[in-house]
Structure 1
Amino acid sequence: MTGPATPAAERPVPDGGLLAVHAHPDDETLATGALLASWAVAGRPVAVVTCTRGERGEVIDTPSHRTGLARLEGDGPAFAAHRETELSAALAALGGAPGVVEHVFLDAVDLSDAQRAQVGPASDRRFEDSGMAWVAPGVAGPADDAPATAFARVPLDDAAARLAAVVRTRRPAVVATYEEQGGYGHPDHVRAHDVTVRALELAADPDAPVPGEPWAEAALWRAVTPSAALRAGRRSLGAASAAAELATRAGLTFPDPDEDLPPLAHHDAELDDAGPHGLERVDVAPVLDRVLAAMRAHATQVQHATRAPEAGADDALLGWYALSNAVLAPVLAQEHYLVAPDTSRSRVTAHPAPVGSPR
């Protein structure tokens, strides 16, 4: 295990703002929902940057989860517009009201003249979803037909310079995103991680062609999950009678607790080595209703978001949900983040990214 958890009352939200960087609508909820909601409840500034609109994702529209929106799958512009509305509703749920969690699409951030000169003609393009294919249980790989405008192909400094401008404007205490492998190998997630690391370097560099005053005070929080907690959550999920009834009724399956886990799952010993200041825990129970409501807002992407019967603060399994793969996933009691202070961020150099992407 990752050592004794500090009681929630002894884990105050840090001073300053939070900025979360995600590849597609719904990622902010699935990866960092409790973090965002907790900061909003504490009255701290909270903002989300979304890198694409998830144009190439699948649409859930089944007898047990009818959205009536199957027609949007494959219609990039129409689906993008709809996912923007889902994202707005999810952020309002996490924040407790519209506007509490602020939002910006990365491609809507203006570049300076100096940045445009460096990036070239691609600087005005829209960042698009790169596509996604499931290559193993819980692991995504690239789509073969990702377009040239896919986020995974965007030059690193094109995207990073925009994000650096946001960092300098908002001057957050924490910037949260995926771990190095994007949670489950998703190319857009990997790119979002690399863009975030590079943006923090640019934001701190007084010589970088980024508008605003340099900002080097943000700690990088990378979303991870202790492997033991994830396996235990899957076992508890498989033993939950209410989940079994749902699975039978809705045609869902259960994950194998013993199968290989996605990259976001880290061995407990590795997390223990991070030290008391290298791992942050966020309790989900106090904001569970907000997180589940945000999941339900992403109706084309998330189905059957359910609170476990009588779920309480001391329970390891708080609920469950499923994505388009129709595999139930547990809502665990805590979110975990590996913390890299500004002095320990490793440099990410510009390089072509693999092609592929979102749900």
Structure 2
Amino acid sequence: MPATAAPARDGGLLAVHAHPDDETLATGALLASWAAAGRPVAVVTCTRGERGEVIDTPSHPTGLARLEGDGPALAAHRETELAAALAALGGAPGVVGHTFLDAVDTSEARVTAPSPATAGRRFEDSGMAWVAPGVAGPAHHAPATAFARVPLDDAAARLATVVRARRPAVVATYEEQGGYGHPDHVRTHAVTVRALALAADPDAPVDGEPWGGAELWRAVAPSTALRAGRRALAAAPAARDLAARAGLTFPDPDEPLPPLARHDAELRDAGPRDVVPVDAAAVLDRVLAAMRAHATQVQHATRASAVEAPDSGLLGWYALSNAVLAPIPVREHYLVSPDLHRATSRRAGRR
């Protein structure tokens, strides 16, 4: 795909994410681009982010600090944030379809019965702990109800049901390590890969007609561009002023990068068919509006002016609850999984 907003693949897009806000932070430009082109777009969210932190500071007052630690209340609020973000990405409510994974009805599917531990209950945020700058790991005391503990096929069968029903051309999610290591992101990747295999297999015990026509797109970032964006961010006068006023910090461009980073040579060697750039500039207003909708999770989503960041590849910035500014790059990048695509296509062709 050339670096434009218009999708080149025929068919629809399905993005699979762990928590509300991930759809915007990881694949916002992709979702907005396909929606703007009038193509079918949907999101599956695996949890409601019950264990997330809540931003409520003098520079970003939400008045919602009381929700942190109250799982059911925070989950309910984040559902409303997600609905607003999806409306922003789609340009109007209802353009981007959505379901929570635990709400998918598999009662008519020929799937193995869910385990007693997961039958009839929600998939909940597993929590996380920071183990390095920008890198997460499992929470010290993950609850028994955590999504990361849901049996793989319980979750994958639900997602396979969605894939068969929607028959997308592209299914997008994180790379194998979840972008930055969050256990729910890692599990979401594994669930997505397994679901695509189940959806394509005519012998799999999943309801619906088999569908093997979906490519798997994994969100990645060229390491050179990621470091350049961090340097441009630190040099932007408006970003420096904001950091001073709001007590924010900048990421170190020379520190080890999170798992989503890929060496430029690796992406070049993958070939043009297997690395898809998506232009974020064309849909930046939608992405920024979606970020602002997730007010408990995202703060200071800002567009960079041409004067502040000329030819830098920096579109803007935002910060999460860790109070570290992050650049909004000019492009999102996706690594296509050609082996999976060919395998599922061959398998579907046998039916």
TM interval, short-chain normalised: over 0.9
- CA-CA distance at 1:321 after TM superposition: 0.2
Within a 5 Å distance, the mapping from 1:164-243 to structure 2 comes to: 164-243=160-239
- Aligned AA (2:281): A
Q: 2:104 aligns with which of 106, 109, 124?
A: 109
1:288–1:313: structure 2 CA closer, same or farther, 3 Å change rule? farther
The two structures have a TM-score, normalised by structure 1, of 0.92
CA distance in 2, matches of 1:30, 1:9: 19
2:10 aligned with 1:15: yes
SS in 1 for 2:119: helix
CA distance in 2, matches of 1:251, 1:233: 20
- CA-CA distance at 1:119 after TM superposition: 2.7
Whether the aligned pair in 1 keeps the contact of 2:213 and 2:341 (CA below 8 Å) is: no
Q: 2:140 aligns with which of 137, 144, 147?
A: 144
Within a 5 Å distance, the mapping from 1:1-359 to structure 2 comes to: 7-8=2-3, 12-112=7-107, 115=110, 117-121=112-116, 122-310=118-306, 315-341=312-338, 343-344=340-341
Identity of aligned residues (%): 80
- Aligned AA (2:75): A
1:313–1:209: structure 2 CA closer, same or farther, 3 Å change rule? farther
CA RMSD of superposed structures (Å) = 1.8
The two structures have a TM-score, normalised by structure 2, of 0.94
1:10–1:90: structure 2 CA closer, same or farther, 3 Å change rule? closer
- CA-CA distance at 1:135 after TM superposition: 1.2
Provide, for residues 144-173 of structure 1, a one-character-per-residue CA deviation record: whole Å limited to 9, x for no partner.
221111000000000000000000000000
- CA-CA distance at 1:133 after TM superposition: 1.2
CA distance in 1, matches of 2:5, 2:341: 25
1:10–1:75: structure 2 CA closer, same or farther, 3 Å change rule? closer
2:349 corresponds to which residue? none
Whether the aligned pair in 2 keeps the contact of 1:218 and 1:341 (CA below 8 Å) is: no
- Structure 1 unaligned blocks of 5 or more: 1-5, 348-359
CA distance in 1, matches of 2:131, 2:206: 38
Whether the aligned pair in 2 keeps the contact of 1:115 and 1:161 (CA below 8 Å) is: no
1:88–1:141: structure 2 CA closer, same or farther, 3 Å change rule? same
Paired residues, what number? 342
CA distance in 2, matches of 1:204, 1:12: 23
Comparing 315-324 with 169-178, which one deviates more in the overlay?
Answer: 315-324
CA distance in 1, matches of 2:255, 2:101: 36
Whether the aligned pair in 2 keeps the contact of 1:112 and 1:209 (CA below 8 Å) is: no
Whether the aligned pair in 2 keeps the contact of 1:132 and 1:186 (CA below 8 Å) is: yes
- Structure 2 unaligned blocks of 5 or more: 345-351
Whether the aligned pair in 1 keeps the contact of 2:51 and 2:69 (CA below 8 Å) is: yes
Comparing 140-149 with 236-245, which one deviates more in the overlay?
Answer: 140-149
Whether the aligned pair in 2 keeps the contact of 1:17 and 1:171 (CA below 8 Å) is: yes
SS in 2 for 1:152: helix
SS in 1 for 2:42: strand
CA distance in 1, matches of 2:342, 2:155: 18
CA distance in 2, matches of 1:192, 1:68: 31
Provide, for residues 170-193 of structure 1, a one-character-per-residue CA deviation record: whole Å limited to 9, x for no partner.
000000000000000111000000
- CA-CA distance at 1:112 after TM superposition: 3.4
